[in-house]
Every structure is written in structure tokens, then in C-alpha cells.
Amino acid sequence: MFQAIDQIFVNLLRGFLGHLPEPIRPWAGLVISLGAILGTFGLLFGLTTVCERKAIARMQNRLGPNRVGPYGFLQFIADGIKSLTKEDIVPRSADKVVHFIAPLALLVPVVLTYLVLPFGRNMVVLDLDAGLLFYFAAGASTELAVFMAGWSSRNKYSLLGAMRAIAQMLSYELPFILSTIGVVMVTGSLSTVRIVEAQGPGDGWLAHWNVFTPWGFAAFFLFLIAAFAEANRSPFDLPEGESEIVAGYFLEYSGFKFALFFMAEYLGMFSSSALAVTLFLGGWTAPVSFLGFVPSWLWFFLKLGVLMALFIWVRGTTPRLRMDQLMDFAWKFMLPLALFLIPVVVLWDRVGRGWVGWVLCGPIVAAAYVWLGRALVGRRRIQLRTYRYASG
Amino acid sequence: MLGSGIIKGLAETGRNFVGSYFDPERMTTVEYPEQRLAPKENTRQFPFLVFDGEAALAGLRCVACQICEKECPPQCIYIEKSREKKPDHLGKPQFHPAIFDIDISVCMSCQICVEVCPFDAIKMDTEFELSTSDRFGGLLMHKDLLARPNSHFLKVHPTDAGVIDARRAEERARLEAKARLDSEAKAKEAPPAA
Amino acid sequence: MSPMIYFLSGVTLASAVAAMTLRNPVHCALALVVTFTGLAGIYLGLGAQFLGLAQVVVYVGAVAILLLFVLLVTRSGEAGDGDRERDRVAERSWWGWLIALLVGAVLAVGAWSAGQLPQRAAPPELPGVRDIGEALMTDFAMPLQVVGLLLTAAMIGGAIIALREDRMRVAAEREGRR
């Protein structure tokens, strides 16, 4: 019974594919899975925008959208219709072709990243040997789309926004990738499916989620912060700072193309959250073995929902960073800490991953955190600011 | 330590989030079409013309003296005098406006017309739901649209209207008393012919 | 898989030609990105997962961005800086032809001799990521270290060049201000 509910989507797909002729089965499976992923996460995108607006409103003691549908939850449909029917404006001097391709070039890699994410037991589209590498390869091409959008608009603000976005994404890509290396080392595989299976409860009753290790805890937060920056979310939303560069690289986009950018941003946020769930929060595994009867996909989306709530909460809390603070944080704090975690993982593995590991690795990670944190913010002298060009 | 600030911030927004569901004091939003704030006496939107009695155009207090037209800073009032006079509430023959237009797209709700009017004929309305479905509709208001009974004035600005009504009643009473005195004196001066 | 390979080869070649012939340098760089991606697709089609994905990470994710940055930072104007530069390039184009001829000759010889080689049976299973990783960490550990050292040296060198220029400019400005 539980087994049937757990595998319901897998069996549905398999049953449907059984009616198709043999040669087109893999392709049909791919297309149907992609359709399902786009549908699910498209709906999730809409609901998240509404929830985000409502939650942030509540944090500011406002009401938020509450007019369209029950409690305003159909607001995203109204917004979608508005976006679709809006006039699509292309600036006269814009590079028309690149301007047109940019939103697609952003959306396609983001959608590709979903192919290697396991949403439940046996629910992964491509179980690649190098799944994690596939994720990072697809994610790396989004920067190019941002550049295309900013450059083709022929607008100074757009170009500035694109430059900021690329500088930020390149800087945070390093801790983003380096923080996952510990997981890969412990699991001994780049396959996302293996990584999730390795975190399952196994024979014991408690799951071995990577976040419940000293290095995993630190790496999880490093990964999450880098994911915030990759998604251009507050506090790392310099690329679209309204007060100084209007809207950043998608300034010259309107209507449907803007909706595509918006959607790509949220889908990217979902996919990096989903990767965080996969790598650190045990993917679709239950935290304790007696909760194993709950369908695996439900666990996955539950954890995803928790991370999305965290994203929204942080957005409602933090102001925007300054450019030098942004770069300092990436290069002087996150990168050294991520590199430092690699030998810690080796130590953890050598001493047997048990309480001895906790006793040894825990203080080391904490000390590294405190020391790097002090080096980043502690020794700042307040002095008169000098300008190279403005004074004199 | 690094990170303590953000935890404090998260706690603050978290408290706001939870509090907004349990503490009605926090939520100051008034959901407008369904909920409304109690009307305030001193609000003002656009002017209206006060009339006495039942017939709107016959009972206008306005005597077309055109002071408001001249004083109006954005010049949104247009008045044309009538040719004939008719008695006002004191029985004095006065002109009345043949045309009285206010362009409320120009009006800036400054209330200067109200302050200069010696006849208490123009007052500020509190009506603000004036939107129409077409762009230019309802912007130029003629005197039939501007006219509102004194009871309306009493409703929107009760203090102000009460003072004015008392004064007008007093003037009228004084006039009537004087008329009575006059007629009595006349009667005394010229005793009825024997 | 064969039609897919032909399609990818066609895309790769067409975009490579576009990268050489388009007027706008940014368009050329973007066409080059398509070439890189097509190449990665061919690798993936041949079953070389690690190579294909690393190609995307390194070339599309890093090298292409670097190219675009260089284009934007060094060029002041937009497309084509006028006829003079083009003439100057055209004068020396025979160098390009010579290099192209040489590369083509090497490739032709290689392709011809590949036919002559004794046919070996393909390994029963394609090497996966794990095999590549093990090979890099055991047999090829030394070359990997050397390459790493080279790249680090290049990076430090780049930083030093940038630093010195900056210092010199600041010094020159101080001189000028006095």
C-alpha cells in the first residue's frame, strides 16, 4: 500500500510508456518527465510568488495580496495573464536576435538542471554517473544568458547590471561547487541518486543526513548562501538594485520575456534548493526510519518547502550588500572556509564518522568559522575615506 | 561574532510574521471598499454650492458676486450672472448665477473659495469616490451637479454648518424684529386717519 | 546516435564559421559558445560524460565569459573599428592561411594514419567518472600537480601585472598633482 503510493508516479509513467512502440520509449519518457517537471514547478513557481508576497507583507505587518481567489492564492494567474497580454517592447537600438535569445538561454539550462535531481525513490529523469557535474555544467551557462540580456539591450544600466550579476555569480560559483566536494568525497560518487541513497537510514533508525555532521553543517550553510547569491536573491540582489540601476540586466524586457526571466530566477532558486536537499538534507529519505511510510516525494517537497520558506524569510529580513562587502564575503570568508572543510572531511572519514569525529571536527570547524569571521569583520579600522579621482 | 546580526534580524521579522496573525493591533491596514474609516469633519475634496429649501436651483445661496472666481488660484471657477434679480433669504433682491461651472480636474481643493465667500454659499464636500469609466467624464461640474441641500452641509460639517445656520437665523430674526419695529413706528407716526 | 552526431557536427561547424565571419566581435564570441556547446554534445554522444560536462563548465562557463569580458574591457567602440584595422589584418592574412594549412595537413595525416592503425576492440565498458578520477589521482598525479602549479603561476602573474599597473598609475598621479 505505502509502496504503491510511494511509486505511483513511477508506475504511471511506466504503464503509459508500455503502450508506446519500443523505439520511441526513452524519448517519450524524457518528454513526459520534462512536461511533468515543468508543470509541477511552474505551479510551484506561481504559488511561491503569492506566498512570498503574503509572507513578506506579514513580516512588515501588512496584509499582502488577498483579492484574487481564496485568500488571494490565485493572484499569480492574474499576474500571468497580465504578463502575457502586455506589449512586448524591444528597444530600437537593441541587438534583436540576442535580445530574443537571452531569456530562452537563461531558462533552458535552468530546466536542464532538473533532469538530474531525484524527486523521490526512483524518480529521477537521468541517473547520470556524473549527475552533480551535469548540474554544475548546466548552471554555469546561465551567466552567459545574463550577459546576453544585459549587452543586447544597449542600455548602460542593463550592462552594469549584467556585469554585477556575472561578477557575483562567478565569485559565488566557487564556494557553491567547493562546498559540495565534501559530500562527493564521503559518498564516493557524483551521482545524485547514490548521494541520496547514502544518506538514508540504512539498517539503523536515524538517517545519516550530511547536514548532521560538523563539516556538513558548515557546508550546508555555505552552499545555501552561495545559492542565494546564484539566484540573485536578497541580500545579494545587487544586479537588480532598483535604486541605482533600475532593474539590472532585464531592464529592457517586458511582457512575456520578462515573465521568462522571472520564472527562470524562481526555477533556479527551486533547483538550487532541491540540490541542497539532495546533498545535505537526505533528498527523499525520511529523517527516522519509522516515518518511512510517508511517500518519498512528499518528503522531498516538504524539505523543499522549508528551504523556500527560509529563502523568503531572509529576503524579508536583509538589506542589500555593498559591492565590496559582497566580494569580501565570497573571497575572504566563504572560499577559505570551503577549502578548509575538505581536509576536515578527510579527518572525519579517517576517524570513523562517529562521536570521535564530532569531538575532533566540531571544534575545528567552529574555530575556523570564528577565526575567519573575525578576520572578515573584526579588524576593520574606521578611517577617513580617500578618493583617487574625486578629491584634490 | 559573524552571523549574530542576521539571526537577530531573522528573529525580528519572525516575530512580526507570527505576531501579525495573533495581534490585531499590529495590522493597521483598512481594506477600503469593504471597510472604511469613520468620516472626519475637516476633510475636504471639491466645492459644492449650498441651497436652502427644496428646489435646488431656486434656493442657491450664491449671488454670483464672482469673488470666488477671482480668488481661485488655479482659475477653475466660471460664473455668469443672471440678468434679473430675485429676493434672497432676507428678502433683498440679488443676482443669481446663470452659469456656475467648476472644472474639478483643475481644482486643487485649497478651500480659498470657501473662505472668501461672504454668503456661505460655497463649501467643501467630503465626497471622494468620483471616478468614472471614461477619461474626460464628470470633470466639468455644472451648477445642477454642484448644488447640495443645506442638510447635506449639516451632515458633512456639522459644527461649521451649525454656526452658520445660527447666524443666518439670527440675522433673519433681527431683520424681522426691525421690520416689526419699523411697522410699529410707522403706525405710531401716522396714526390711522380718523 | 549517428544522426545526432551529424546534426551536432553541422551545428558546431556552422557556428565555427560564424565565429570567424561575423562582424560584431560579441556575436563572434557568442557563436564560439555554440561551437563549444556542440563539441560538448559530441563528447556526450560518444559516451564521454566527464569530458563533455567539463567542456561545458570550463569553456561555456568560464572561458566564454572571460572572452566577453576582454572584448568589453579592451574595445571602446562597438562593431568593427573602421577599415584601417581591417586592412592591416588583411595584409597579414597569409599567416592565418599558412597556419590553417598546417593544421589541416596535420589533421589529414592523422585521419589517414588512423585508418592504417590496427583495429583494437573497444573496452567492454566505457570509463566512467570514477575511473577518470582514479587515473588522475594515481597514474597522472604528477602531471595534474604540474598543471595546477602552472595555472597558479599564471594567476599570480596576472595579479601582479594588474597590481603594478595600478600602483604605477597612482604614483604618476601623485607626481602630476604636485
10-residue averages of pLDDT along chain A (392 residues)? 76 80 80 88 90 90 85 87 86 86 89 88 81 87 86 85 86 89 86 84 75 87 90 81 77 85 89 90 81 82 91 89 84 89 88 80 85 76 71 56
pLDDT of res. C176: 67
Q: What is the DSSP string of A180-247?
A: HHHHHHHHT---HHHHHHHTS-TTSSB---GGGSHHHHHHHHHHHHHHHHHTT-TTS-GGG-HHHHTT
pLDDT of res. C105: 93
Q: What is the DSSP string of A1-64?
A: -HHHHHTHHHHHHHHHHHTS-GGGHHHHHHHHHHHHHHHHHHHHHHHHHHHHHHHHHHHTT---
Average of per-residue pLDDT across C127-155: 86
List residues of C whose CB lies inside 8 A of any A CB: 24, 26-27, 30, 33, 37, 40, 49-50, 53-54, 56-57, 60-62, 64-65, 68-69, 72, 128-130, 170, 173, 177
- Per-residue confidence at C168, pLDDT binned at 50, 70, 90? low
Interface of B with A in 22-51 (CB under 8 A): 26-29, 31
A16 is a domain residue: no
- Closest Cα partner for A116 from A125, A107, A105? A125
pLDDT of res. C121: 63
A278 is a domain residue: yes
For the segment B142-169, what is each residue's pLDDT rounded down to a tens digit?
888 888 888 888 888 888 888 988 988 8
Residue of B4, B8, B13, B28 to mutate for A, most A C-beta atoms under 10 A = B13
Backbone angles phi, psi at B182, to 5 degrees: -55, -50
Write out the residue range of the structural domain in which residue A345 sits: 91-377
- Residue A368 CB contacts under 8 Å (≥ 6 apart), including other chains: A337, A340
- Per-residue confidence at B116, pLDDT binned at 50, 70, 90? very high
pLDDT of res. B180: 87
Complex-level ipTM beyond the 0.90 threshold = no
- Per-residue confidence at C35, pLDDT binned at 50, 70, 90? very high
Q: Does A40 touch chain B (CB under 8 A)?
A: no
pLDDT of res. A212: 82
A60 is a domain residue: no
- Per-residue confidence at B73, pLDDT binned at 50, 70, 90? very high
User: Residue B103 pairs with which residues in a beta bridge?
Assistant: B140
pLDDT of res. A220: 92
**CA distance linking residue C136 with residue C145, whole number of Å:** 10
**CA distance linking residue C22 with residue C29, whole number of Å:** 10
Q: Does B20 touch chain A (CB under 8 A)?
A: yes
Inter-chain residue contact C56 with A388, CB threshold 8 Å: no
**CA distance linking residue A227 with residue B38, whole number of Å:** 49
Number of domains in chain A: 1
Quote the distance between the C-alpha of residue A162 and its chain's center.
19
DSSP state of B81: E
CATH topology of domain C1-77: Four Helix Bundle (Hemerythrin (Met), subunit A) (1.20.120)
Q: Cα angle at B121 between B120 and B126, to 5 degrees?
A: 95
For A311, counting Cβ atoms within 10 Å of its Cβ (0-12 exposed, 13-18 middle, 19+ buried), the class is buried
Residues in chain B with CB shorter than 8 Å from the CB of A376 are 2
pLDDT of res. A257: 87
Half-sphere exposure of C130 (CA within 13 A, CB side): 12
Q: How many other CB atoms are there within 10 angstroms of residue B124's CB atom?
A: 21
DSSP state of C118: P
Amino acid letter, B68? C
- Per-residue confidence at C153, pLDDT binned at 50, 70, 90? very high
Residue of A62, A313, A317 to mutate for B, most B C-beta atoms under 10 A = A317
In B78-114, which positions are buried (b, 16+ CB within 10 angstroms) versus exposed (e)?
A: bbeeeeeeeebbeeeebbbbeebbbebeebeeeeebb
Backbone angles phi, psi at C31, to 5 degrees: -65, -35
pLDDT of res. B74: 92
Q: What mean pLDDT value characterizes chain B?
A: 86
- Closest Cα partner for A317 from A40, A59, A42? A59
pLDDT of res. A205: 73
User: Which of A95, A143, A388 comes nearest C61 by C-beta?
Assistant: A143
Q: What is the DSSP string of A273-303?
A: HHHHHHHHS-TT--SBGGGTTS-HHHHHHHH
Q: Which residue has the higher pLDDT, C91 or A359?
A: A359
Give yes or no for residue C108 having a pLDDT over 70: yes
Q: Can you read off the three cell numbers belonging to residue A30?
A: 524524457
Domain ranges of chain C: 1-77, 127-178
Give yes or no for residue C81 having a pLDDT over 80: no
Q: How many other CB atoms are there within 10 angstroms of residue A84's CB atom?
A: 11
User: Residue B123 pairs with which residues in a beta bridge?
Assistant: B48
Amino acid letter, A50? V
For C85, counting Cβ atoms within 10 Å of its Cβ (0-12 exposed, 13-18 middle, 19+ buried), the class is exposed
Measured in angstroms, the CA of B32 and the nearest CA of chain A are apart by 12
- Residue B42 CB contacts under 8 Å (≥ 6 apart), including other chains: B157
Q: Does B1 touch chain A (CB under 8 A)?
A: yes
- Per-residue confidence at C47, pLDDT binned at 50, 70, 90? confident
User: Which of C56, C128, C177 comes nearest A129 by C-beta?
Assistant: C128
Measured in angstroms, the CA of B29 and the nearest CA of chain A are apart by 7
Helix (H) or strand (E) holding B94: strand B93-94
DSSP state of C80: -
Q: How many other CB atoms are there within 10 angstroms of residue C75's CB atom?
A: 12
Amino acid letter, A53? R
- Residue A387 CB contacts under 8 Å (≥ 6 apart), including other chains: none
Inter-chain residue contact C65 with A173, CB threshold 8 Å: no
**CA distance linking residue A303 with residue A270, whole number of Å:** 11
Average of per-residue pLDDT across C56-80: 75
Q: Which residue has the higher pLDDT, C118 or A368?
A: A368
Give yes or no for residue C126 having a pLDDT over 70: no
- Per-residue confidence at C101, pLDDT binned at 50, 70, 90? very high
- Closest Cα partner for B123 from B87, B152, B81? B152
Angle between helices A255-280 and A214-230 (to 10 degrees): 180
Measured in angstroms, the CA of C133 and the nearest CA of chain A are apart by 10
Inter-chain residue contact A392 with C177, CB threshold 8 Å: yes
Q: Which residue has the higher pLDDT, B32 or C120?
A: B32
Q: Can you read off the three cell numbers belonging to residue A7?
A: 511509486
Question: C124 preceded by cis ω (within 30°)?
Answer: no
Give Dmax (Cα) for chain A. Answer: 80
- Per-residue confidence at B112, pLDDT binned at 50, 70, 90? very high
Residue with cell 549584467: A162
A41 is a domain residue: no
pLDDT of res. B178: 87
- Closest Cα partner for A48 from A301, A229, A295, A319? A301
Interface of A with C in 186-215 (CB under 8 A): 188-190
Would you call B186 helix, strand, or coil by DSSP? helix
- According to the per-residue pLDDT averaged within each range, which of A10-14, A104-108, B86-90, B135-139 is highest? A104-108
- Helix and strand tally (H, E) in chain C? 8, 0
Average of per-residue pLDDT across B172-183: 87
